[in-house]
Structure formats: C-alpha cells, structure tokens
Structure 1
Amino acid sequence: MSGPVLLVIAKEPVPGRVKTRLTPPFSPLQAARLAEAALADTLHTLLNVPAARRVLVLAGRPGPWLPEGWEVVPQSGGGLDERLAAAFAGAGGPALLVGMDTPQLTPALLAPATAPGAWPPGRAWFGPAADGGFWALGLAEPRPGLLRGVPMSTPRTGAAQLRRLRAAGLNVRRLPVLRDVDTAADAAAVARAAPGGRFAAALAGLSPAARA
C-alpha cells in the first residue's frame, strides 16, 4: 500500500464565509486570503505525503489555490459530523483526514501515520488540536458511525471523538498537538511556527494594524 487516502474537508475561501472569527481585526476579504493561504499550504504539503489518493471534499468551487494531484468531490449535506462521516464512507479503505486550519503541518508530523505498517485492522490515528478539537483523524476501516453525533466545534470535540474511538475498541495512536488558526493570536503564532509558508506570507502582507 502506498499510503492511506488523504482527505481534506474545506470551504471555498469566499469573503464572509470562511474564518469569520478573524473578523475583526481582519476584514472579511483579508480573512478569506488567510484561509486560502492556509488551504494552499495544506494541499501542497500533502503532495509530499505518501497516499493512495488525495481527495479534497469541498463546499464551493475550486480555484487557482488547488494544485494538481487532487481529486475534488462535493461535501454532503448535514452538520459537520455528517459531512466528515460521508467523507470517510467514500474513502473505501484506510483514510486520514487532515484539517485545513493547520498550515504549519509538515510531512514529518504525519510520518508515523504514513509509514509502512501504520494501518493494521482496528487502527485509528488522532491528532489533537490545542483548542480542544482535532486536526487529524485516521481510520483503518470506513466506520462513519464513529463520527455521527459527535459534537463539533466545541472545546470538548476532541475528547468526545477520542472516547468514541476507544469505546469502539480501536487501537488509537496519537499525533502531535497542533494549533488551529481560529483567532488573530492563533494566526500570528502559526505564522511564526512556519515562517516560510504561504500563510505567513499572506499574514505579513496585511496592514500592521490588522496584524496587531
């Protein structure tokens, strides 16, 4: 096996629809530019990660930020838990979901989950986020029911999802904790962690007042 199916679930970076917690201090247009840069960083990074397929599960339309090497499928309806579940159901085998809110991601951070032998039956991978959510979730077998009903976008989301995995008897391996880009403080911290990326460049291009 060349690696798991890599899944990224994202919204088209349209002003007013993405990164709304960044406004203020950023304008909706600035927030959308940061979202686009974060998404582009993530997609380009994952081109350097072993994968059976790379699938962007997108709400909206692709843009120039989309590199070659990605399949694009539309998101399903329902809440985020239902959309995540549908993405795993469509993978058809071992799948690793990676969020678009961690542009500091590197192939090395995912190396444990993409190494040979990383996906025996019953294996799960879990990457916690500093805000209480998760930035990565991997399942060796498609089990969408493990995501349905998990409360999303709360400080308890990660703990609830982890309990689901363990209660199902899965062998859960952990990935490092990463910080999501939700607030202006998050954006500054992530840019410092990955100063050579598109996200850091986009943030540096904004006005000093907006970056304060």
Structure 2
Amino acid sequence: MDGRPPATCAIGIMAKAPQPGRSKTRLCPPLTPEQAAALSAAFLRDTARNIAEAARRAPITAYAAYAPRGTEDVLAALLADETALILADGNGPVPDAVRGFGRCLLQAVEGMLGRGHEAAIVLSSDTPTLPTRILVQAASLLLAPGDRAVLGACGDGGYYLLGLKRAHADMFSDIAWSTETVAAATRERACGLGLDLVELEPWSDVDDADALRALLAEAGGYAAPETRAVLAQFGLSAGRIAWDVIPA
C-alpha cells in the first residue's frame, strides 16, 4: 500500500435552479411554465438520488455543477445530502474555441478533477430514468488504468453523459451545442486526441413533448419516484395523456 486514498470518480449533474419561464421551456405547451419548473425540480431530485444509489455500488462522489451563482440554497434543497455543489456557469478562463454550453461543461470537469478525483463525469439533469447500472459502469470504466473517454449518446444526436480522466478542452471545442451533431462531433474530438472512446447504452433525455410522451410510456430504468409523482399530479400517465394541445 502506498498510503494514497482510493481513486474516486466524480459525477456532476449539470444543474440550473428551476424557474418558471426558464426551465424546460420546450415542454410549454403541454405544460405551463410553473409545471415545467416543478418537473425540472423533480428531475434534479431523482438524478441526485440515482447518483447516491450508484455511489453505494462504486467509488463515486456526487456533485451538482450548477448555475447561476447565488442559487446554492435553492439547489441544495433539491439534492441528496451527499451532493456537493460546484459552480459551472461558464465564466471561468477557457480556450476561445470552447463556447456556449461547452464552457460550463469544461468548467465542471476541471472543477471536479481539481478536487482530487481520478475521473469526472458530466451528466444531464434531463434523464431521470437512467439506469443506475449505467452510472456504475461509466465510473468503473473511467477508474480502470489508461486514459479514455466514456460517452452516453441520445437518440437526438446529443449526449446525456461524458466522462473524462483529464480536462481535455478539445472535447468541448468548436461544437454546435443543442444540435443533432453534438455526439458525432464529440466522437471526432476523442479520435483527434487519440483517446479510447467507450460508448454506453443510448438513453433519452426529456427535452421536448415527444420525449415526455416516451417517458410516460417507459417501464424500465431508474424508478424516478419524484418525476412520476409530479407527472401524476399533472394528470399525465401512460394510460392518460391529458394534453389535447399537442399535435399528434
């Protein structure tokens, strides 16, 4: 034994304080701005608790990589007790080619690695049903010897998870965020860096009405009790989709 502490993998939810009119706006309609904010809060609660469950199975430390500054108390009330806060508002120094949301992601990775973790994962807050085993798998892959990236892609061309062992700024450079090219561009960046890229099972993030429909019909994955409870309050379930305003 060399006396060093065991290696750990940090997982940071990319979190924003839920606010009506600013949270999950692509779900309005069918939801009202207030409902969308409540659903966003439920997603955060479930995702934080999912990470806490994964931490009981693997050496994982939970974070919320949050924005904006000043919303710490609001977010802390939504998160599992074990979840630490780390600012990721995109205002830190980054290369010019890293723009938009990439600045927040890179800041989150740098911040978590800077706290002494062997690896860092940035995780979408919009995947409340992501199976716990996927988080455990991602952490285990990253804690194995050798430099690599771990990617969890979404069907819409984005990704729900990216894990790194070093803060490679190029992984976030010159990417058109919020488009269907994000995952493909990220694969290209990993190839250009000579990184071994391990891809996880695809999963959906809930960012529009179609994805919400799919969530209501979904039977597998993490139970997401907070999300299910909020949707039931809205009168939405797999057997009763009460939103006539949404085009078929």
| 2:55 counterpart of 1:47 | no
- Which residue pairs with 2:151 in the alignment? 126
TM-score (norm 1): 0.90
Instruction: Answer yes or no: is the 8 Å Cα contact 2:141–2:150 preserved in 1.
Output: no
Matches within 5 A, 1:41-190: 41-49=46-54, 50-60=58-68, 61=71, 62-77=75-90, 79-92=100-113, 93-115=118-140, 118-190=143-215
Instruction: Answer yes or no: is the 8 Å Cα contact 1:11–1:59 preserved in 2.
Output: yes
List per-residue Cα deviations over 1:19-43 (Å, max 9, x = no partner).
0000011100011111111111111
* Alpha-carbon spacing, 1:64–1:98, altered in 2? closer, same or farther (3 Å): same
The separation in 2 between residues aligned to 1:116 and 1:141, in whole angstroms, is 14
* Alpha-carbon spacing, 1:162–1:98, altered in 2? closer, same or farther (3 Å): same
Instruction: Answer yes or no: is the 8 Å Cα contact 2:7–2:143 preserved in 1.
Output: no
Matching residue's letter, 1:90: G
In structure 1, runs of 5+ residues without a counterpart are none
The separation in 1 between residues aligned to 2:201 and 2:132, in whole angstroms, is 12
SS at match of 1:48: helix
Displacement after TM superposition at 1:74 (Å): 2.2
- Which residue pairs with 1:203 in the alignment? 231
* Alpha-carbon spacing, 1:72–1:117, altered in 2? closer, same or farther (3 Å): closer
In structure 2, runs of 5+ residues without a counterpart are 1-5, 92-99, 237-241
The separation in 2 between residues aligned to 1:194 and 1:28, in whole angstroms, is 27
Q: Aligned match of 1:20 in 22, 25, 46?
A: 25
Instruction: Answer yes or no: is the 8 Å Cα contact 1:23–1:31 preserved in 2.
Output: yes
Pairs aligned (count): 212
The separation in 2 between residues aligned to 1:34 and 1:117, in whole angstroms, is 31
Displacement after TM superposition at 1:7 (Å): 1.2
* Alpha-carbon spacing, 1:30–1:63, altered in 2? closer, same or farther (3 Å): farther
Could you say what the CA RMSD is over the residues aligned between the two structures, in angstroms? Answer: 2.1
Higher mean alpha-carbon deviation, 94-103 vs 138-147, is at 138-147
Matching residue's letter, 1:83: C
Displacement after TM superposition at 1:152 (Å): 0.9
Q: Who wins on radius of gyration, i.e. which is larger? A: 2
List per-residue Cα deviations over 1:76-122 (Å, max 9, x = no partner).
33521111011111122411111111101122122322237743232
- Which residue pairs with 1:29 in the alignment? 34
Matching residue's letter, 1:121: G
The separation in 2 between residues aligned to 1:201 and 1:47, in whole angstroms, is 20
Give aligned-pair identity as a percent. Answer: 30
* Alpha-carbon spacing, 1:75–1:114, altered in 2? closer, same or farther (3 Å): closer
* Alpha-carbon spacing, 1:192–1:65, altered in 2? closer, same or farther (3 Å): farther
